[in-house]
Structure formats: structure tokens, C-alpha cells
Amino acid sequence: MTPFATPSRNIVGMLWMFAAGLSFVGMNALVKSLGPTVDPIQAAFLRNVLGLVFLLPALPAIMSTPLTARHLKLFGLRGVVHAVAVMLWFYAMTAIPLAEVTAMNYLIPIYVTLGAVLFLGEKIAFRRIAAIGVAVIGVIIVLRPGFRALSPGHLAMLGGSLALAVSYLLAKILVREIRPSVVVAHLSIWVTIVLIPFAFAVWAPIGPRDLLVLFLIASFATAGHYFMTLALQAAPVAVTQPVTFLQLIWATLLGALVFHEGVDIWVVCGGTLILAAVSFISWREAVLNRSAITPPDIGTKF
């Protein structure tokens, strides 16, 4: 795909990204709807267990892909890091408003960009440094430290985003040697294994309604990733990424109408700045025809 696709392809890509955004916001809302009825760690584990059914088509590829000891260590390390991210994210969803989770989710590509520079030796130009500075300002606007108390949910979301960025950096290393579908499949398997002891430490009986919600969460997550893949196949990242801003709008409206959360204009403004910075970085990379460092899909990867 060249940096600039035809107008019709661009529209198709934007529509697929729109559908992906709705799927991710729906997933977030379902997680929040669980509320205190299911422990966040138990919910994270069951969501991954139920999501394993979607890996069945990938089983032949998994079985036929040779893995070295190094690959297994990287998969295991990524599983641990991603499991931490999942637990923190599920907790944050129950502790802070939906719009704040969505806005802070936009931080992940910024973390990845910095990590790629620090640990993978990738170069960074002044424009990208400036964009990261804009994103930091956006974070300060969202959190407003000193003007309000930061809750454990905010800290969990910051830590979860950072852990997820580390997971992406490990994936960047793995996909150089292993096909992406196998990398994704192994992530689901390893995260499920890592979550087992944590889930059983807080295990409590769960009703059929909550199980159905957790299966729907897994379904929305899978649909979101699939729609996002179709979007990226149809149009460049520079075209599709700005559409993800709509996730913040949907999350704000859903939080206000369904969960009775107040509409915080500062969260919307800060999230807009963060997304603008991410979009600018992606646009510059598309123009320069470079491999993207920042993950193009900034929907939640859970």
C-alpha cells in the first residue's frame, strides 16, 4: 500500500476503522457494566479463556511453526507483561470514567515510539519529539495533577498503557521472525496461562449473565481487531488513524447516558491533543514511506 490510496479506498478504510472503534467502545462498556460483580482479575482471565475459541482457525499455523528457546522466552516474557497490562486495564475500567480510559489509551503509541528509540535503536526526528511533547501536555490536561486527586484507577491505566507498550515492542521483535497470526495466537495462550494463579486467588462463583457478558467482550474485541485489519488493508494509517478520535466521542456519550458519568471537557481536550500527536507521527511515517514504529491501531488490545 502506498502512502496515499485512491479516494474510494480511503473511504472504505475509514468506514472499517469506524466499525472497529464502535466494537472497542462496546467492549469497554461491557467491561464497565460488570462493575463490582466480578473481580477485575477474574474477569480478565475468563475473557481470555472464552476468547481462545477464536484461535481455532489459527491452530494449524501454530502447530506448524518451529520455535526456538529464544522465541519461547520472548513469548513467555510478553505473556507476563501483557497479563499485567490486562489486569491493570480491567481494574481501571471499574474505577475511572469510560472517557478517561479511552483518552489515556491513546498514550500507548507514544510509549511505543519512545521505547523503539530507547531499546530498538530506531531514530527519532525533531517533529516526532515535538509531537510527543504535545501528547505529554494532553496527558497533563486529562489528569490535571494538583487540581484533583489522582485515583488508583488513573495510576493503573498509566501503568497498564506502559505495560501494553512493552508488549508491542516485544511483538515487534517477534514478527521479524514469526508470522503475525502466530504471534497473536501465542499471546492469547500465554496471557491465559499467566493469569491462572491470579484468577484463582480471587475466584468467586459467577452467574450465567456475567459469563455471557464476558463472551460478548471477547467477541467485540475480536471483531474490533478484524475490522481494524480490514481498515489498514484498505487505506494508509495516516487516513484511518484520525477516525479513532470518534472512540473518545462515543465513550464520552456512553459514559454520560448509560453510566451517568459527567462530561469532562478537559478529558476530551487532552485526549484530542494526544490523538493529534499520534496521528501526526503516523502521517509523517506514511509520507516518508517508512515502517511504522507506532502501532497503527490504538484501540484497546485485550
Enclosing domain of residue 49: 7-287
Residue 6's pLDDT is: 64
70 within domain boundaries: yes
The total number of structural domains that make up the chain: 1
Measured CA to CA, the distance from residue 270 to residue 114 in angstroms comes to: 20
- Map residue 236 onto helix, strand or coil: coil
Mutual angle of helices 98-105 and 126-143, in 10-degree steps: 170
Low-confidence residues of the chain: pLDDT under 70: 1-7, 146, 237-238, 284-302
Per-residue pLDDT, 296: 44
Residue 268 lies in a domain: yes
Gap between the Cα atoms of 119 and 131, Å rounded: 20
Is 301 part of any domain? no
27 located within any domain: yes
Is 194 within the bounds of a domain?
yes
CB 261 within 8 A of CB 97: yes
- The conformation of residue 1, written as its DSSP 8-state character, comes to -
DSSP character at residue 244? G
| Confidence (pLDDT) at 290 | 47
> Domain for residue 294, yes or no?
no
**From residue 118, how far is each of 122, 127, 166, 169 by CA, in Å?**
8, 17, 12, 11
Cell numbers 462530561 correspond to: 263
Residue type, 266: W
Q: Quick one: angle between helices 7-34 and 69-95, nearest 10?
A: 70
Q: Is the dihedral of CA 56, 244, 36, 30 positive or negative?
A: negative
Q: Is residue 295 part of a domain?
A: no
pTM: 0.82
298 domain-assigned = no
The pLDDT of residue 78 is 94
pLDDT of residue 285: 65
Buried b (16+ CB within 10 A) or exposed e, 28-41: bbbbbbbeeebbbb
